[in-house]
Amino acid sequence: MGDKMRKVTVRSPATSANLGPGFDVFGLCLDEPYDIVSVEKMEENGIKIVVEGEKSEEIPTEPDKNTAGVVAKAMMKDFNIKEGIKIHITKGIKPGSGLGSSSASSAGVAVAINELFNLNLPKLKLVEYAALGEGVAAGSPHADNVAPAIFGGFTMVTNYNPLEILHIPVEMNVLIALPDIQISTKEAREILPKKIEMEDMINNVGKACGMVYSLFRNDIELFGKYMMVDKVVEPRRAKLIPKYEEVKEKVKDKVYGITISGAGPAIISIPKKEHLLEVKELFEEVWGRVYYTKVGNGVSVLEKDD
């Protein structure tokens, strides 16, 4: 069937990186929002990219400048794929939102090419390819969003060269607010300190360890509590998001945890069921768009066409 297969379509989900003290290590896969990515064989050589949907006019379609294009190029070169392909991306995740928009395109294409050409690659190898696309968006390849996009659940990137990913399946509901502003990953990285105090490092390592422990105990309350105590990254990035600190203070007893998602401006919270509506309404009033979703299972294949 492999050679006859003409097209593969996948659903590629949003992700949230950092989760407070887990900067550049922790990632969480979300069930929504998501992109739909299809890869189709074509008669002519090369890579053609079509993008529609959320802010699609801002996304370059030249393969070398598009995250998905970079991933496709690397995979086709390494596996000596001579056929041309057409990549079609329908963006459901707003670019520059802090919800892994570029990662969804990268991860989706890696999985679709793997299926379309029967490469049978393990998930870790798919993350490696997908991370190459992140180099276009963030300036250097990183895996904290593409890892949960491919593995699902909660992931930790514990090493590069060689890449190591640890994965914990988790279940929890999350409430995401998406302010109508854009923050580039590069800008959000530039404001970070070049050196940090020893006590801040100890705080963050301790809280990150506590978060991992809490997942094995299925203690969402503890997970959320530690998620809120980042002493290094969040205090700097908070200044980029209007009313963030004010809202965080207002809801701190109504949620288990709240922090900035990735580079922002999206905000991720773990709401307490009894306060869900109240927090959701406040988020909508202050920031506009809100997603109430759960932890997702990663990129999934929707269709395979002969």
How far is the C-alpha of 3 from the C-alpha of 51, rounded, in Å? 26
If we measure between CA atoms, which residue out of 105, 30, 97, 145 comes closest to residue 289? 97
Q: What are phi and psi of 216, to 5 degrees?
A: -70, -25
Contact criterion met (CB below 8 Å) for 301 and 181: no
Q: Provide the 3-class DSSP secondary structure of residue 50.
A: strand
For residue 168, give the H/E element and its range.
Answer: strand 164-168
Among residues 15, 155, 185, 259, which one is catalytic?
A: 185
User: What is the 8-class DSSP label of residue 195?
Assistant: S
Active site residue 134: yes
How far is the C-alpha of 46 from the C-alpha of 7, rounded, in Å? 16
Residue ranges of the alpha helices (H) in 139-197? Answer: 146-151, 185-190
Cis peptide before 162 (omega within 30 of 0): yes
Tell me the C-alpha to C-alpha distance, in Å, between residue 46 and each of 49, 141, 168, 278.
Answer: 10, 23, 38, 51
How far is the C-alpha of 66 from the C-alpha of 251, rounded, in Å? 38
Active site residue 221: no
How far is the C-alpha of 26 from the C-alpha of 93, rounded, in Å? 20
Among residues 15, 134, 155, 234, which one is catalytic?
A: 134
**Cα dihedral across residues 175, 181, 186, 188: positive or negative:** negative
CA 57 to chain CA mean position, Å: 21
How far is the C-alpha of 258 from the C-alpha of 267, rounded, in Å? 7
- The residues assigned a catalytic role are 134, 185
